[in-house]
Structure 1
Amino acid sequence: MTVTDVQLDQARRVAVEAARRGRPIETCPYNANGTPDQRRLALAFVREYLDHVGDDVEYDADE
């Protein structure tokens, strides 16, 4: 199966809503270790989430 533009848009919309509600990035519904399609959707989610959260995200780069 190939990821469609509709699925990518949905992943991005879910990410925006999660960021807007202050949910943690772990709420991503896609498996970053799954199939190539799942990884692509997870990447779209994470990128969009980080774009909307901005500098409020705290992480340890050493991990």
Structure 2
Amino acid sequence: MDPQGPILIEGPVEIVLEDGTVARSDRFVAALCTCRRSRVYPWCDTSHRRRARPPSPRDDRRSR
């Protein structure tokens, strides 16, 4: 599981956004964006995957 990834919930679902707008999904599973990078917010479009991650200490040791 990706901590920056979406929250999966069973649908159909209605989400009330901060501005009072209601977003609806008729899908049997809806992916809610948690990173706020999605172009179709509140639904996830996998934008979280495009973020470059800093190398881990383990990766630094391999490159030496």
TM-score w.r.t. structure 2 length? Answer: 0.24
Higher relative contact order (CA 8 A, sep 6+): 1
Query: Hey, which of these two has a bigger chunk of helix by percent?
Result: 1
Query: Hey, which of these two has a bigger chunk of strand by percent?
Result: 2
